[in-house]
Amino acid sequence: MVDVSANKPLLRALRHVLGDNGLFEAEAVQAVHVEEPRGRYHAMPLAVARPTELESVSAVVRLCAEAGVAIVPQGGHTGLVGGAIAGPGEVVLSLERMSRLRGLDPVDASMLVEAGCTLAGVRAAAAAAGLFYPVSLASEGTATIGGTLATNAGGNLTIRYGNTREQVLGLEVVLADGQVWSDLDPLRKDNSGYDLKQLFIGSEGTLGIITAATLKLAPAPRQSLTAMLACADLPTAMALLKHLRSGLGECLSACEFLPRLAMEFVLLDQPAQRDPFDSPHPWYALVQADSSLPGDSLEAAAHSVLHQALESRLCGDVVVAGSETQAKALWSLREGISAAQKHGGASIKHDISVPVASIPAFVADTVSALERSMTDIRPCIFGHLGDGNLHFNLSQPAPMNPERFRALETECNRIVFDQVRRYRGSIAAEHGIGQLRCNELARGQPDKVALMRRVKQALDPDGLLNPGKVLRP
């Protein structure tokens, strides 16, 4: 039981800094701040602090540090590993009201934004200036720039543009004692010592609070083509990827994949959709190509590459979107999978990566290893074929009781993560470690975790920034 009265002076001081609308306590704390999207974690914090400018973020962190109270930064709260959930007695620091666009320079091709801007808002502001912010996630309407930086979010366009880490030129951070470290200059080259911003990117709020960032912008695509290709098996899909890479070059923006089972779940979940193909296929690749050049050169080039793929039997059939609406419908088949998996009953999910060329062997070996332990398990493995990030999801055997299946989670995790290690992959490709994968990280990479603890000790010696996330105390 947390003794709230012991924190009364802190809460009074925070209210003084933030005003009534800037601090929620007790019943005023809304569900959005305490529930995680998958419902896995739930906890009631001491309070939710909602500053609107840098100075108040700094004051909140300093006051909490003086009182010895832990802080959990929160953006859009779309994270899937319990990273933004604050325990009892901890203060949520929500950046949602720090959402100004501080500047956009078309010559530098950069923009300076505050942490609480949504990803969709940033993409729209870049587009309005004829530029492009190339991180795109299904959660972008709610996910914030601060959250995507803190988790080094990936997404659908990584194959071409890289992850969030690659889009950042500068950062402004409030450190554990409330001091501000600001390095927001839009420099493309800067080798003056350690690249400190990279330490905070992907640190999931455990080393500092990101308050603003200077982001690199790309030329806006002017031509785009989306197609879905039917594949017989994963080795053929990998040969197809190689063919698309060499034929489309830097225009290949996305290459996703999904199995038949996922297609069936999504068609159940989205009754307005229809199967793009006349007959079922074991696997599907969703491909997007974009060009920033004016004119219509992409279409002919892409059609020729797709035609060659058919002729060489790298795919069994192709559907090319004839309009933006059709392109969106094809993307919805891919992006709807997570939500649609409920039609298969209970599921156990892993966000992992392996070297791209290892995908077929990894999938075959891991599925066999799982089948040795449990019969009739239904793999629903999909994700980003082009960058090796697999959402290695498992649906329960049809006749099994969901609770019995969920009880197998620890065993499934051990099998999957042991295989990930065997294939020199990562147990957390894009969602991060949060609370969910702390123990697994410590089990599999003790040397890395020991070094991470030294960094944590240097930047947050009292352990008050997002405790229990990434590193177990």
Report how far apart the first and last C-alpha atoms of the chain are (Å, whole number): 20
Among the listed residues 431, 437, 452, 456, the single contact to ligand FAD using CB under 6 A: 431
d(CA 448, CA 444): 9
Q: Which is nearer to ligand FAD, 95 or 315 (CB)?
A: 95
Distance in Å, CB of 455 to ligand FAD, minimum: 15
Give the per-residue contact string, 113-132, with ligand FAD (x = CB under 6 A; - = no): --x-----------------
Among the listed residues 64, 71, 72, 262, the single contact to ligand FAD using CB under 6 A: 72
Q: Which is nearer to ligand FAD, 99 or 139 (CB)?
A: 139
> What is the separation of C-alpha 199 from the centre of its chain, rounded to a whole number of angstroms?
18
- Binding to ligand FAD (CB under 6 A) within 210-239 occurs at 210
Among the listed residues 83, 186, 202, 276, the single contact to ligand FAD using CB under 6 A: 83
- Please state the φ and ψ torsions of residue 461, each to the nearest 5 degrees: -60, -30
Distance in Å, CB of 8 to ligand FAD, minimum: 26
Q: What residues contact 42, with CB distance under 8 A and at least 6 apart? A: 34, 35, 36, 85
- Contacting range for ligand FAD; rule: CB under 6 A; set: 67-75, 125-133, 299-307, 319-327: 67-75
Tell me if 430 contacts ligand FAD by CB under 6 A: yes
Distance in Å, CB of 417 to ligand FAD, minimum: 19
d(CA 354, CA 362): 8
Give the per-residue contact string, 144-183, with ligand FAD (x = CB under 6 A; - = no): x-xxx-xx-xxx----------------------------
Distance in Å, CB of 204 to ligand FAD, minimum: 4
Q: Which is nearer to ligand FAD, 232 or 442 (CB)?
A: 442
Q: Shortest Cβ contact with ligand FAD: which residue?
A: 147
Question: Is the CB of residue 114 less than 8 Å from the CB of residue 39?
Answer: no
Binding residues with ligand FAD: total (CB under 6 A): 36
Question: Is the CB of residue 51 less than 8 Å from the CB of residue 32?
Answer: no
Among the listed residues 51, 302, 469, 471, the single contact to ligand FAD using CB under 6 A: 469
Give the per-residue contact string, 8-47, with ligand FAD (x = CB under 6 A; - = no): -----------------------------x----------
Distance in Å, CB of 136 to ligand FAD, minimum: 8
* Sheet containing strand 209-216, strands side by side: 101-105, 110-114, 209-216, 168-174, 180-183
Q: Which of 76, 97, 2, 6 is nearest to 45 (CA)?
A: 2
Which helix or strand (DSSP H or E) is residue 289 part of?
A: strand 283-291
d(CA 52, CA 60): 11
> What is the separation of C-alpha 160 from the centre of its chain, rounded to a whole number of angstroms?
16
- Please state the φ and ψ torsions of residue 123, each to the nearest 5 degrees: -65, -40
Indicate the SS3 state at residue 433: coil
Other beta carbons less than 10 A from residue 71's beta carbon: 27
Other beta carbons less than 10 A from residue 33's beta carbon: 21
Distance in Å, CB of 174 to ligand FAD, minimum: 8
Tell me if 78 contacts ligand FAD by CB under 6 A: yes
- Contacting range for ligand FAD; rule: CB under 6 A; set: 141-149, 190-198, 277-285, 359-367: 141-149
Among the listed residues 80, 258, 301, 315, the single contact to ligand FAD using CB under 6 A: 80
Q: Which is nearer to ligand FAD, 210 or 302 (CB)?
A: 210
Among the listed residues 22, 45, 51, 73, the single contact to ligand FAD using CB under 6 A: 73
155: left (phi over 0), alpha (psi -120 to 50) or beta: left
**And the tokens for 204?**
């999931």
Tell me if 186 contacts ligand FAD by CB under 6 A: no
Q: What residues contact 415, with CB distance under 8 A and at least 6 apart? A: 366, 369, 370, 373
d(CA 427, CA 301): 37
Distance in Å, CB of 167 to ligand FAD, minimum: 13
Among the listed residues 79, 134, 259, 344, the single contact to ligand FAD using CB under 6 A: 79
Distance in Å, CB of 446 to ligand FAD, minimum: 22
Question: Is the CB of residue 68 less than 8 Å from the CB of residue 10?
Answer: no
Distance in Å, CB of 414 to ligand FAD, minimum: 24
Give the residue carrying structure tokens 């894009």: 430
Other beta carbons less than 10 A from residue 381's beta carbon: 23
Question: Is the CB of residue 17 less than 8 Å from the CB of residue 71?
Answer: no
Distance in Å, CB of 363 to ligand FAD, minimum: 20
Beta-ladder partners of 110: 105, 216
Q: Site residues (CB under 6 A) for ligand FAD?
A: 37, 72-80, 83-84, 95, 115, 137-139, 143-144, 146-148, 150-151, 153-155, 204-205, 209-210, 430-431, 434, 466, 469
